[in-house]
Amino acid sequence: MENRHFDVIILGGGAAGLTAGIYLSRAKMKTLIVNEGTAGGQMVLTHEIANYPGVESTGGYMLGSTMKNQATSFGAKIFNNSKILSLDLTSDVKSIELARKGKFTSDAFILATGGRSRPLNVPGEDEFKGRGISYCATCDGDFFQDKEIIVVGGGNSALEEAVSLTKYANKVTVVHQFDHFQALEHYIEEAEANEKIEFIMESEIAQFYGDDKLTKVKIENMRTHEFTEMDIDGVFILIGYIPNTELFEEIVELTDRKEIIATRDMETNISGVFAAGDCTAKKYRQVTTAVADGTIAGLAAVEYLSNKK
């Protein structure tokens, strides 16, 4: 069992988890990164990342791959596509059981499971993710310079990002399923005052079309159930965010939005358990903020382990 015990097990192989793995393994901590998908997390969905400091432009997949290679080069072990059967975070020695690989234990744990943008779940959405469909205006807005785009949503984020996107796009059409917005009044006023923004209310996107990239959407009026088609260069879906915290809802302290509550040192309410990245309660979710969280969580875990020893 000795080779199945680690100093730290990191749950999640996105920007936060991989960064924590880099710091921990460089500090000579025996580190295991367990990832239910492929390494890179949300990064791999982004065709191009142009706002990562020190890197003019890179593909999300390439950046994720570089981080993974860094972590493994310092000695971190990574299990991708791993199904979690059970998890014990409350014992002094923590443990995780994986399908086909068995049980592993550790003295500390970092939860970096990230999250996912709430999808529309309509035909064509999966096909055109990263090829006309985006879930992050800050990440991808400048790729739509002088284009016509749609923003789906009616909350604060959707209207705020719609205004922000007018810096790039010639025209922004906000599509919202209700006849009123769920945003604060100043966001509504700012959007309505912008000459580049138009509104299609009481409507939903029913389908996405295109070839190599998105070119058209079908829109359904929810009151009349009539369909119209609209040529478009891009669509930003901004209808909410889902943290990947279902596995430990009854274990660590969460907000009412199911986000992990962590201190500024990324500590959870359980001793020896830290959290980092998009699964935590935070305002901004970017690759850079995830990397910062992962750095802090990794260093805090090193300190915790040093004090424990």
- The SS3 of residue 135 is coil
What stretch of H or E contains 306?
A: helix 287-308
Tokens read off for 101 = 């690989």
Type of residue at 89: L
Closest CA to 236 of 295, 146, 160: 160
Domains, the chain, in order of start with CATH, read: 2-116+241-308 (3.50.50.60), 119-237 (3.50.50.60)
CB proximity list for 54: less than 8 A, separation 6 or greater: none
pLDDT in tens, 109-133: 999 999 988 999 999 999 999 899 9
pLDDT in tens, 5-27: 999 999 999 999 999 999 999 99
* 3 has pLDDT over 70: yes
- The SS3 of residue 86 is strand
Type of residue at 23: Y
pLDDT at 284: 83
* 272 has pLDDT over 70: yes
What stretch of H or E contains 138?
A: helix 137-140
Read off the pLDDT of each residue in 84-112 and give the average, rounded to a whole number: 96
Q: Please list the active-site residues.
A: 136, 139-140
What stretch of H or E contains 209?
A: strand 203-210
pLDDT at 1: 42
pLDDT in tens, 202-249: 999 999 999 999 999 999 999 999 999 999 999 999 998 899 999 999
pLDDT in tens, 71-83: 999 999 999 999 9
Pairing of strands 171-175, 197-200: parallel
DSSP 280: B
pTM above 0.95? no
HSE (side-chain half, CA atoms, 13 Å) at 65 = 7
CB atoms within 10 A of CB 259: 19
